[in-house]
Amino acid sequence: MFKRLPLRLRSVAYALRGGFLVRPLMIAIVLGLCGAVLSSVEESTPLLVDWVPSTLFPSRQDPQVAQAILSVIATSIMTVVSIVFAILLMTLTLASMQFSPRILISFVRDRGTQWTLGIFLGTFSYCVAALPAARSLPQPFAPVATVAGAMLLALLCVGWLLFFIHHISQSISVNHIVDRIARETEQVIDALMPHPAVPHYRPAPTAFVSEEPEFPILNEVSGYIRFIDTARLMHFARMHHLRVRVTRSVGHFVPAGVPLLMISRRSRLDRDRAVELTGAFDIGPMRTLQQDVEFGVIQIADIALRAISPAVNDPSTAISCIDQLTRILISWVSRFPPETLMYNPPHVLRVVLPWIDLDGLLNTAIEQIRAYATTDAAVSLRLLRLLHDVAVTSENDWLRDIMVERGRRIVEGCRGRLPADDLTRLEQRLAVLERVHVRRHAPIRLESAGDGGD
């Protein structure tokens, strides 16, 4: 159990950092402590009252006025908190119904919403913590400075409520949603693939085939692989002179009882060591963006697919999603792929990890959109532009061949389904993509006949 603890702590920290618990709770606790400490300091140091303008709090000897102000602010703030939660729940419901249920994760991780809840709950905690200091017996005391602080927090809450309404109105915008998902996905790419590869992009190596017997380590908990501690796997394999092959990649679902790992020497592994080895995996009920680049792409592709469905028929939203997929794919091809075969020492294979490759990422990003957009010229044109933009960012002929082949597949899928004029525009844009090989070092401009603002 303790051998799994570091990864579990990391998983809990990731989940709490992106939820409505930690940041609002910490803000509420800090402001509550400020209310209690300030009222106590004010009672022991009466000179603090002189710093508060008399126009702000003229009745300095009547504790009932202080009690009334603190009570009114606390009651009003809790009413506003209920309104904020109602707005938030309505926003989450609309976003999940209109776009995709998977995007709720990005809403929950939104810091603006977390700070809003924290400020309001913190103001309530401040007033409740300071309220006992305002008393008539045994000796009357009115915490003037503390009440002045509560009034300032109340004014802050009024301004913050206006900010929250503006923030929510922006957050529900589809362009804002897909941009946020794309930025989070790029951050995952930066962490997973830190080494730039332009212009020397290399394809993923072929699948590893073992020439000696392998023995399975079964998975014990059903769920999605959310994070793999590769350094821990490498250390374990080197210390015990093993080769470890992971059977599923990040983001895949692994049922209990299915082999999670394959090892080369069964005699070197007992029950405790097997538990230590499986402790390098974070497996949970839902996918996250810890190491899962594909999950970010899936969220954006889901929004695009729902937008081009006959029930919605919103190609502009699908085009916005394709634009964001373009930046993710360019970020991917500009980096060296994650290491699939890990050696230590050199020429001694220790760990085999099945990361997603460019073909898999392209399949997730464009194939379903391509299949459903065969009767939509605007979306198909934007898919061709995606392939063109990815191709011109690299000087690797292998990658450009893949982009050209995908472009031909898009045009062939639309053939016979679009009017002749629209098909001509697609063929013109495909011709521009095919000329990328010839005009490698020259700037490429899309032909005006095939541009059309798509």
CB-facing half-sphere around the CA of 428: CA atoms within 13 A:
15
> In this predicted model, what pLDDT tens digit does every residue of 53-88 receive, in sequence order?
665 565 656 778 888 888 999 999 998 888 888 887
Residue 180 near residue 289, CB atoms below 8 Å = no
> In this predicted model, what pLDDT tens digit does every residue of 183-218 receive, in sequence order?
999 999 999 988 886 555 555 556 666 667 888 888
SS3 329: helix
Cβ-in-10-Å burial (0-12, 13-18, 19+) of 413 comes to: middle
SS3 246: strand
Note the pLDDT of residue 2.
42
Q: Note every long-range contact of 20-27, with CB atoms under 8 Å and residues 24 or more positions apart, other chains counting.
A: 20/108, 20/113, 20/114, 20/117, 23/111, 23/114, 23/115, 23/118, 24/114, 24/115, 24/117, 24/118, 24/121, 25/118, 25/121, 26/118, 27/115, 27/118, 27/119, 27/121, 27/122
| Planar angle of CA 262, 203, 244, nearest 5 degrees | 15
- pLDDT confidence of 45, banded at 50, 70, 90? confident
CB-facing half-sphere around the CA of 346: CA atoms within 13 A:
0
Structure tokens at 94: 């609309």
The per-residue pLDDT of the chain, averaged, comes to 83
- CA–CA separation, 90 and 82 (whole Å): 12
- CA–CA separation, 345 and 197 (whole Å): 24
Question: What pTM value is reported for the model?
Answer: 0.79
> In this predicted model, what pLDDT tens digit does every residue of 25-37 receive, in sequence order?
889 999 999 999 9
φ, ψ of residue 262 in degrees (nearest 5) = -125, 130
> In this predicted model, what pLDDT tens digit does every residue of 273-291 receive, in sequence order?
778 888 889 898 888 888 8
**How far from each other are the two terminal CA atoms of the chain, in whole angstroms?**
55
DSSP 136: -
For the segment 124-139, the average pLDDT, to the nearest whole number, is 85
- pLDDT confidence of 20, banded at 50, 70, 90? low
- CA–CA separation, 105 and 282 (whole Å): 18
User: Does 231 score more than 80 pLDDT?
Assistant: yes
